[in-house]
């Protein structure tokens, strides 16, 4: 049997679909190697990952694609390679299945962000049309669909009209990069970014559904009782969202909001560990890694009660707020910041809860689904 895997997003980066693909592929290779007669595993990759990927297993074959997602090459070159190598089954860790591919496959749908919160990039009518055609076709033709949360499963059924019995929910894992460390080890990172006061932390990309401007406005209300509290925001600045920087000026918080830009994995773990509270005001998530990463580091979490967040974080393991209501965001942050006992309770619950999310469990369940078709 020959199993093909779309590894064009394969990456050892600590978040996102790249990490998801990396973890699933590594598990499959290890498990397959245990078989008396291992299956052939075809990894369809783009550079630079194609050049960087090394393996000692003869049953693993990598194939250079070099066709970006959402490109013409995805619908032509990638499709041609799939037909040339003819895998008995394919696993697509993302919905970008070539439209005319008709072989048996399993697809993972992480979220419907582009359906519900399209943002400011690739949102012309032909971009939107292409997206709808590709994701609807991927779901329609798939033998099985993996959803990363019950909330994503519900969205797939509601918006893409997929039959419920075709969908299997498998939660993601949390990287071992995130772990509790002594605060002494975080000092160099805090010094690098000139963070000297207690601080709230937000990590992630800058997109409209991430709701960062409301978080900044909420900080201005929290400052009435905690004027020294800072907000640290990681992630590469996105020129499509100038309102994030503009909000700090509007509410007089230029000295209270720290924009770190992109940080390394080590620095991210340091910041999460050192934060007084991790705040996640997102309007929509398919799974929501960051709050769980914070829990794994022993940092109490305040997060929105929308989409999958109560499901993934657990109703008693975080403090929840209405992300559309700035006053509620501020009130919940204030409540948690001023209540040391509550911080301790959420820290203990969060640490225990985060233990459930392992890549071993996620990858094992995913491999079973792949083998079921």
Confidence check: pLDDT of 14 > 70: no
Q: Would residue 119 be called left, alpha or beta, if left means φ above 0 and alpha means ψ between -120 and 50 degrees? A: left
Write down the number of H helices and E strands in the chain. 16, 13
Eight-class DSSP state of 10: -
Q: Helix 125-141 to helix 150-160 angle, to the nearest 10 degrees? A: 110
Q: Quick one: pLDDT at residue 350?
A: 98
Is residue 292's pLDDT more than 70?
yes
Q: How confident is the model at residue 12 (pLDDT cuts 50, 70, 90)?
A: confident
Closest CA to 103 of 116, 89, 92: 89
First and final C-alpha spacing in the chain:
12
107 φ, ψ (degrees, to nearest 5): -130, 145
Buried residues in 241-275 as b, exposed as e (16+ CB within 10 A): beebbebbeebebeebbbbbeebeeebbbbbbbbb
Over residues 26-77, the pLDDT tens digits come to 999 999 999 999 999 999 999 999 999 999 999 999 999 999 988 999 999 9
CA distance 7 to 5: 6
- Side by side, the strands of the sheet bearing 301-304 are 257-261, 230-234, 199-202, 277-280, 301-304, 319-321
Q: What is the mean pLDDT of residues 205-220?
A: 96
| Candidate from 11-25, 27-41, 157-171, 294-308 with smallest mean pLDDT | 11-25
Instruction: Output the six-digit token pair for 34.
Output: 């245990």
Q: Does residue 170 contact residue 366 with C-beta atoms inside 8 Å?
A: yes
The distance of Cα 185 from the centroid of its chain, to the nearest Å, equals 26
**Average pLDDT value for the chain:** 95
Q: What are the tens digits of pLDDT across the range 295-328?
A: 999 999 999 999 999 999 999 999 999 999 999 9
CA distances from 280 to 286, 301, 369 (A): 14, 8, 32
Q: Is 22 exposed, middle or buried (0-12, 13-18, 19+ CB in 10 A)?
A: buried
Spatial contact of 212 and 244, defined as CB atoms under 8 Å apart: yes
**Is residue 363 very low, low, confident or very high in pLDDT (cuts 50, 70, 90)?**
very high
CA pair distance 231, 343, nearest whole angstrom: 17
Show the tokens assigned to 210: 């991430």
Q: Model confidence at 240, in pLDDT bands (50, 70, 90)?
A: confident
- What pLDDT, on the 0 to 100 scale, is given for residue 248? 95
Angle of helix 326-338 relative to helix 340-354, nearest 10 degrees, comes to: 100
Q: Which two tokens stand for residue 353?
A: 């809860």
Packing angle of the helix pair 212-222, 326-338 (nearest 10 deg): 50
Mapping DSSP onto H, E and C, the string for 102-137 reads CCCEEEEECCCHHHHCCCCCCCCHHHHHHHHHHHHH
pLDDT of residue 16: 84
The encoded tokens of residue 62 equal 């990598």
The Cβ of residue 239 has, within 10 Å, a number of other Cβ atoms equal to: 8
Residues 39 and 43: their CA atoms lie apart, in Å, by 13
CB 316 within 8 A of CB 333: no
Structure confidence at residue 165 (pLDDT): 97
Mean per-residue pLDDT, 1-21: 90
Question: What is the pLDDT, as a whole number, of residue 128?
Answer: 86
* Distance separating alpha carbons of residues 133 and 203, to the nearest angstrom: 32
Question: Domains in the chain, please, with CATH?
Answer: 2-173+358-371 (3.40.50.2000), 183-354 (3.40.50.2000)
DSSP state of 107: E
What is the predicted pLDDT for the residue at 354?
A: 98
> Percentage helix, strand, coil, to 5, in the chain?
45, 15, 40
Residue with token string 């990598």: 62
Q: How far apart are CA 78 and CA 64, in angstroms?
A: 9
């Amino acid at each position: 049997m020959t199993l093909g895997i779309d590894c064009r997003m394969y990456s050892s980066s600590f978040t996102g679909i790249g990490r998801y693909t990396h973890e699933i592929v590594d598990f499959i290779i290890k498990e397959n190697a245990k078989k008396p007669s291992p299956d052939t595993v075809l990894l369809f990759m783009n550079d630079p990952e194609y050049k960087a990927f090394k393996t000692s297993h003869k049953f693993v074959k990598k194939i250079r694609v070099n066709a970006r997602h959402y490109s013409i090459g995805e619908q032509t070159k990638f499709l041609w390679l799939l037909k040339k190598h003819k895998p008995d089954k394919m696993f697509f860790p993302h919905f970008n299945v070539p439209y005319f591919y008709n072989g048996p496959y399993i697809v993972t749908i992480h979220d419907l962000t582009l359906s519900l919160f399209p943002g400011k990039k690739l949102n012309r009518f032909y971009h939107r049309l292409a997206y709808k055609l590709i994701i609807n076709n991927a779901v329609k033709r798939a033998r099985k669909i993996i959803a990363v949360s019950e909330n994503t499963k519900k969205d797939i059924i509601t918006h893409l009209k997929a039959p419920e019995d075709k969908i299997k929910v498998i939660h993601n894992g949390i990287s071992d990069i995130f772990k509790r460390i002594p605060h002494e080890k975080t000092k160099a990172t805090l010094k690098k970014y000139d963070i000297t006061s207690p601080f709230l932390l937000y990590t992630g990309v800058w997109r409209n559904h991430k709701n960062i401007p409301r978080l900044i406005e909420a900080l201005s209300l929290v400052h009435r009782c905690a004027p020294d509290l800072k907000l640290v925001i990681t992630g590469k600045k996105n020129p499509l969202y100038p309102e994030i920087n503009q909000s700090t000026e509007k509410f007089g918080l230029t000295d209270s909001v720290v924009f770190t830009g992109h940080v390394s994995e080590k620095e991210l773990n340091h910041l999460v560990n050192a934060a007084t509270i991790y705040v996640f005001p997102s309007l929509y998530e398919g799974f929501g890694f960051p709050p769980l990463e914070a829990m794994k580091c022993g940092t109490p979490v305040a997060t929105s009660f929308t989409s999958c967040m109560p499901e993934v974080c657990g109703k008693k393991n975080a403090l929840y707020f209405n992300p559309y209501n700035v006053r509620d965001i501020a009130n919940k942050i204030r409540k948690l910041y001023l209540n040391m006992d509550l911080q301790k309770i959420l820290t203990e619950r969060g640490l225990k809860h985060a233990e459930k999310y392992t890549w071993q469990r996620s990858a094992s369940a995913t491999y079973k689904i792949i083998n079921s078709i």
